[in-house]
């Protein structure tokens, strides 16, 4: 199979709007976590909000004031447009969009029900129309002028990584010349309440892979990359998507297996597709949510594959919060930036290794490194595990 090139990147997160703002924050070790301000909540927990109101997003995007857009759609428009502008794709090519989300237009649905419950004749039903996950994809495609193909992936927190995989398959099958792939999710009350009910929200900034970890911090944002055939011309070249895989350990509705079977399979099969040895991986952007289950499970899988020679690894979720379906897209951008700048990002807030797995992530920003191959993990509810491998 011929390799797929990455020719454009775009990202919006709690670290800022655009690639440069996110890169600067990663380099300086500045977290984007803070208190909830987008909506009222009974939960006093840190979150990774994009520092931009819906009105400000609308103005930045130049959207008409008489049309309704979910926050999820607007965050996606921002990042996907940056990726396409970065790539400067020829308009005559067949361009598609594979976008992921889990929240969809939930923020608008919540707004409708707040009005409806106060007055049964109140509320704007047009807001509920935007609830469907595909609604944000259609708005992003329309805003970016993508009309050859679009589809939506929703596999919880592995969604964006699976969107990138599908994009690569569409190109390899000769169905499209270029695919904008990634995902977008916005914070909402439903998500905060749902994760609180699972008792996996930390009331302090999350500490991935730390012995004292007590849960995750939620975040929002969007991340997209532009994929195209490696043998076609491009203005930018961020590297190649060499390998990818999806696997499922099918052990629990929300948890992964203690032995990390799904993570082990996804990483192993991605390495096999990329035709790389374990020694070839220079850096791993781990899923690393900061929950007891994820970090122990992912750590066990890392040990099963790499043994005592685990590559430099870190989780960037203490920077952005866990952005759910957008995580794989945002962290794909972070992985490509690591490779491009010869850098690894710090695993913030880590101090003490886990007793059962004495793994120590990178805790300082380092650059000037030879980063030729980067692995990025994204794991979702139901044991849906996805791994991407990028190479220069």
pLDDT tens for each residue of 178-223 = 999 999 999 999 999 999 999 999 999 999 999 999 999 999 999 9
CA distance 269 to 264: 8
Tokens of 181: 């792939």
Give the pairing type, strands 283-285 and 373-380: parallel
CA distance 162 to 183: 10
- Per-residue b/e over 71-94, b at no fewer than 16 CB within 10 Å? bbbbbbbbbbbbbbebbebeeeee
Provide the 3-class DSSP secondary structure of residue 85. helix
Count, in order, helices (H) and strands (E) of the chain. 11, 13
pLDDT tens string 60-69: 999 998 899 9
Give the pLDDT confidence score for residue 1 in this predicted structure. 58
| pLDDT at residue 253 is higher than 90 | no
**In this predicted model, which residue has the larger pLDDT, 248 or 188?**
188
Give the pLDDT confidence score for residue 128 in this predicted structure. 77
Is the C-alpha dihedral spanning 60, 378, 40, 105 positive or negative?
positive
| pLDDT at residue 2 is higher than 90 | no
Whether residue 341 contacts residue 327, with contact meaning beta carbons closer than 8 Å, is answered with: no
Mean pLDDT of all residues in the chain? 94
Of 141-145, 260-264, 279-283, the range with the lowest mean pLDDT is 260-264
pLDDT tens string 87-138: 998 778 999 999 999 999 899 888 877 777 777 676 676 777 888 889 999 9
CA distance 156 to 196: 17
Rg (CA), the chain: 20
Cα 113 to the chain's mean position, in Å? 29
Cβ neighbour number for residue 358 with a 10 Å cutoff = 11
Give the pLDDT confidence score for residue 108 in this predicted structure. 86
pLDDT tens string 220-247: 999 999 999 998 999 999 999 999 999 9
Q: Maximum distance among all alpha carbons in the chain? A: 64
DSSP labels, 256-280? --TT-HHHHHHHHHHHHHHT--GGG
Under the banding of pLDDT at 50, 70 and 90, the label for residue 252 is low
CA distance 123 to 261: 46
pLDDT tens string 300-338: 999 999 999 999 999 999 999 999 999 999 999 999 999
Give the pLDDT confidence score for residue 3 in this predicted structure. 78
Point out which residues pair with 221 in neighbouring strands. 185
| pLDDT at residue 48 is higher than 70 | yes
| pLDDT at residue 12 is higher than 90 | yes
Give the pLDDT confidence score for residue 118 in this predicted structure. 79
| pLDDT at residue 257 is higher than 70 | no
Beta strands in 55-196 (DSSP E): 95-100, 149-153, 178-185
Count Cα neighbours of 360 within 13 Å in the Cβ-side half-sphere.
5
Give the pLDDT confidence score for residue 383 in this predicted structure. 76
Give the pLDDT confidence score for residue 227 in this predicted structure. 98
| pLDDT at residue 248 is higher than 90 | no
Q: Which residues contact 92 (CB under 8 A, 6 or more apart)?
A: none
- Smallest CA-to-CA distance from 244 within 265, 264, 274 is with 274
DSSP labels, 351-374? -SB-SSS------S-B-S----EE
User: Cα–Cα–Cα angle for 332, 73, 112, nearest 5°?
Assistant: 135
| pLDDT at residue 369 is higher than 70 | yes
Give the pLDDT confidence score for residue 188 in this predicted structure. 94
pLDDT tens string 142-185: 999 999 999 999 998 999 999 999 999 999 999 999 999 999 99
Give the pLDDT confidence score for residue 160 in this predicted structure. 97
Instruction: Tell me the mean pLDDT in the region 60-86.
Output: 96
Give the pLDDT confidence score for residue 82 in this predicted structure. 98
């Amino acid at each position: 199979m011929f390799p797929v090139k990455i020719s454009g990147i775009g990202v919006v997160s709690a670290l800022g709007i655009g690639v440069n703002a996110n890169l600067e924050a990663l380099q300086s070790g500045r977290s984007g976590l803070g208190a909830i301000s987008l909506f009222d909540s009974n939960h006093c927990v840190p979150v990774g909000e994009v520092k931009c109101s819906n009105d400000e997003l609308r103005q930045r995007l130049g959207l008409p004031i008489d049309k309704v857009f979910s926050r999820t759609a607007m965050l996606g428009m921002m990042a996907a447009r940056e990726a396409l502008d970065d790539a400067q794709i020829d308009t005559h090519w067949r361009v598609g969009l594979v976008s992921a989300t889990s929240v969809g237009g939930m923020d608008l649905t919540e707004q409708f029900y707040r009005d409806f419950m106060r007055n049964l004749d109140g509320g704007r039903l047009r807001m509920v129309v935007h609830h469907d996950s595909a609604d944000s994809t259609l708005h992003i495609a329309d805003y970016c002028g993508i009309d050859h193909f679009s589809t939506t992936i929703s596999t919880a927190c592995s969604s964006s990584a699976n969107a990138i995989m599908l994009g690569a398959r569409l190109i390899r099958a000769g169905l499209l010349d270029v695919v904008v792939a990634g995902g977008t999710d916005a914070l909402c009350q439903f998500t905060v309440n749902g994760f609180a009910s699972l008792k996996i929200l930390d009331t302090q900034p999350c500490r991935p892979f730390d012995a004292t970890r007590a849960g995750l911090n939620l975040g929002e944002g969007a991340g997209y990359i532009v994929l195209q055939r490696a043998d076609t011309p491009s203005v930018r070249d961020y590297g190649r998507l060499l390998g990818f895989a999806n696997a499922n350990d099918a052990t629990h509705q929300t948890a992964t297996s203690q032995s990390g079977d799904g993570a082990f399979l996804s990483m192993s099969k991605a390495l096999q597709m990329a035709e790389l040895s374990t020694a070839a991986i220079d850096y791993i952007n781990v899923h690393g949510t900061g929950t007891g289950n994820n970090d122990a499970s992912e750590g066990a899988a890392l040990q099963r594959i790499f043994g005592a020679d685990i590559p430099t690894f870190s989780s960037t979720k203490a920077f952005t919060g866990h952005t759910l379906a957008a995580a794989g897209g945002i962290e794909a951008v972070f992985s490509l930036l690591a490779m491009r700048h010869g850098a690894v990002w710090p695993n913030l807030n880590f101090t003490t290794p886990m007793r059962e797995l004495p793994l120590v992530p990178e805790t300082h920003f380092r650059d000037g490194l030879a980063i030729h191959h980067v692995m990025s993990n994204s794991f979702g509810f139901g044991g849906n595990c996805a791994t991407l491998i990028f190479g220069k």
